[in-house]
Structure 1
Amino acid sequence: MIKIGIQSLVNTAPAIPAFIRAKPERCGIIDLSTLSDLDPIEVDAYLDCIEVDDLRVWSAALSGSLADLNMVGWRLCFGRDRTQQSARNEFTRPNWLGGFYWFCQSALAGYPSALNNLASAKLLRGCGVAETEWAALQQQLYASATLLENSKEHAPDDLARTLEKVREVVDAMRHKVAKSG
């Protein structure tokens, strides 16, 4: 069973199939397509939506909210109880690469908590990063988060330089994740 959230009404006849297609450029978002009176209906559907607030978070993230970009990543990786059965014959598992994607989006836009989430040992393990690389990567991520926090209190030039450093660290991590997968 796939639980998805849709923010618009989709009316279809029971005999008309719905098609689900992954959107690789936006992890965790799928295309739901069907026909209604022979006109195609295409809507974004968001994975792992169980509550109404999940839709609000997805919507805010796609509108550019840095905290919600980070929250989408957190929910995909760590949200809810991912080790227990949530309903009969149903388990939820972490989507490490999906969470990684959204944490990176938030971190690159300047959200320090996303850098801390990227440094999580669970995320590093889930994304397949070699344990021998964790310590150095975590140190860089934590240092970048601290720099970002401190630079927000200073001149715009400081923030720009810090964001460039964050990009370098996140790009290095992306390379390690891509290499491991």
Structure 2
Amino acid sequence: ADEAIKHLEENFLKNSKFSELIREVRVLKDEYALIKADLYDVFEKIHNKKTPLMENYKNNRDKINKLTQLQNNLNIHTELEQLINMIDIAENEISSAAFLFENAQKRLKESIIKRLESKNYRTSYGLKLSREATSGARSALNDARSALNNLESSALKKLEPMGRKKEIKELIKHAKTVLEGFN
């Protein structure tokens, strides 16, 4: 039993990289926190440029319209919150997958032990151990499948935020450039 468990641990369990996946999602989450702060900073700069211009609306109408247009182009608050929410969900799914995978490991170890012990008994007790081993192995398989489903789902949830990140950064960068050249 010990050899079978050791083989399982060496070949499969050490290769699980849940902590690395969680770290990657947290890095993405931190990047989005910076993007969000950057976006609000740009909104504040637009507001600060627009407010004094409003005192003489007739003479500054074109400038005010340009600033308003710039502000409208940056109106991505809802999308940004949705992307951050997707990242949070992906993080939770990875954590859940790690828990399920750990459960599957434990159940599989127990099943291997029971299966090997059942071979030592030719009685109803041995048959009982054999059934428990089979049941435990099925439970381990179900947990492993659920873990895999969670990992697949988290990967899909990470894709959109990863793809949109560059576009959003470019949008903010463009707005900053326009503001720097604005008189």
Q: Which has the higher helix share?
A: 2
Structure 1 length-normalised TM = 0.32
Larger radius of gyration: 2
Query: Higher RCO, 1 or 2 (CA under 8 Å, sep at least 6)?
Result: 2
Q: Which has the higher strand share?
A: 1
